[in-house]
Every structure is written in structure tokens, then in C-alpha cells.
Amino acid sequence: MPRTRGRAPDGKWRADALSREIIVGAAIALLDELGERGLTFRLLAKQLNTGPGALYWHVTNKDELVALAADEVLGHAFTAPPPPEESAGAGLRALAIAVFDALDQHPWAASHVNAPPTLANALRLLDRIGTLVARTGLPAERHFAVSTAISYYITGVSAQIIAPRATAVAATDRDAFLAQTAEHWEKLDPADYPFLTRTTTDLRDHDDRDQFTTGLDLLLDGLNTTANP
């Protein structure tokens, strides 16, 4: 797993040399355009003017490639510098929303951010959460459990909300899908599903980002009352 660009035998840089970063970048482009099933080593190799075998010198296998691509995308959440002095709660909220928005741009990525973190940006995310949690009044022995809980919420709930868009093709399909699901709910027996049958308009009209922040704010409220009882 080299971290530098290749060099031709004569010692000069090859303009078209492969590298992990170049491969991951091209993979992200294909994933955005064609989804996870559309990403193929043959196609990726063609885009990079090589054979499929060449990629395996830089990347262990497809699972690793997709994981690297997802971590790269997660890193987009950190482009803005962390705002200086705000409350821990506000910092956690801003961080969570930045992650949601980053993953929202690349729907295939959300379900590939794994826990516990081992890749650079996932590590960074948990560390930032932990540092913010440590700033609350919470006893130290609870920092790990609470920080990972928040981290799990961010990536897990983002994946739940965003993943359907990775299957449905375009953004326009979302409305059609929701309308169809709402119709399905309307046909259910109200005796069996009293809640769903009276909630179909909310389903049609809901906003994904609001869904994410609703649960997030409940979680942070709970953190707040636990830390400052």
C-alpha cells in the first residue's frame, strides 16, 4: 500500500501514475454516477487507462476501496474549521449536521462509514465528539459510552435516512416513492395500524434533514439534562 506516486524505471514521474488517492477519487466519481453496483474494477480501470489488475496493487479489494471512498466523503464534513468557542451542545449539533450534509451528497457512502472507526476521518469524527462531550459536566467514565452513542446516532441515522436515495435513481423519484408508500399506508387496516393510517400526510410532506435534527435534538436534550441535572 504505497502512499507515493509511481516512478518510471528511468526515475521520472509518470504523468499517468496510479496512486491510492487517484483510484479513490475516480471511484467516488463512479459511485456518484452509477451507484455501488455500477462501480466495477474493469470500468474503473478503463477510466484510469489500465487493467483491473493494476488496481489491486494499491487497494486490497472492492470492500476496502468503497470504505476508503466513504471515509473520504466523510472528510468533507471537516472542511469548515470548527467554530471557536461555543457550547458543547452547539458544537455537537453543528458537527452532526455537517456530517449529515456531507453524506447526503453521496448517498452510497452513508452505509459504509463503519463503527468502531479505523479510518482517518471516522477517527477524527469520534475524537471531536469525545472532546466536546468531555467539555460537558459528565463524569469521565461515561465519556466513551456517550460519545460513541452520539457517533452511532450520526452515522447510523444518516444511513437510514439517506440510503434509500442510493437505490432510487433521481431526486424526483423521492416524491413518487413517498406518495406510493403513503398510499400503501392508507390501505392498511386502521384496527391493526392506528398510527400509520392517520399519519400519511406527514409522511408525504416530511423533510429528511428535519427528521435527522429532530432525533438529534432529543438526544442532545437528554445529554444536557443528564450532564446538568
188 binds its own copies (CB under 8 A): yes
Q: Does 9 bind DNA (CB under 7 A)?
A: yes
Q: Which residue's CB is nearer to DNA, number 20 or number 128? A: 20
Stretch that binds its own copies, among 24-32, 77-85, 94-102, 213-221 (CB under 8 A): 213-221
Q: For residue 67, what is its C-alpha cell?
A: 470504505
Cβ neighbourhood burial of 175 (10 Å; 0-12, 13-18, 19+): exposed
* Residue 54 binds to DNA (criterion: CB under 7 A): yes
Cell output for 139: 463524569
Is residue 8 within a helix (H) or strand (E), and if so which, with residue range? Answer: none
Report the phi/psi class of residue 49: left, alpha or beta, with left for phi > 0 and alpha for psi in -120 to 50. Answer: left
Residues 57-76, interacting with DNA (CB under 7 A): 57-58, 61-63
Residues 105-164 that bind its own copies (CB under 8 A): 111, 114-116, 118, 123-124, 126-131, 134, 143-150, 152-153, 155-161, 163-164
Three-class secondary structure of residue 10 per DSSP: coil
User: Got the DSSP string for 79-104?
Assistant: SSPPPSS--HHHHHHHHHHHHHHHHH
The vertex-111 CA angle with 106 and 114, nearest 5°, equals: 120
C-alpha cell belonging to residue 163: 440510503
Judged by CB under 8 A, the number of residues near its own copies is: 60
Stretch touching its own copies by CB under 8 A, among 14-22, 45-53, 81-89, 187-195: 187-195
Q: Give the closest residue to 17 by CA, choosing from 7, 25, 28.
A: 7
- Binding segment for DNA (CB under 7 A), chosen from 54-62, 125-133, 139-147, 216-224, is 54-62
Judged by the rule CB under 7 A, the positions of this chain that interact with DNA are 2, 4, 6-7, 9, 14, 17-18, 39-43, 49-54, 56-58, 61-63
Judged by the rule CB under 8 A, the positions of this chain that interact with its own copies are 111, 114-116, 118, 123-124, 126-131, 134, 143-150, 152-153, 155-161, 163-164, 178, 181, 184-185, 188, 192-196, 199, 202-203, 206, 210-211, 214-215, 217-223, 225-226
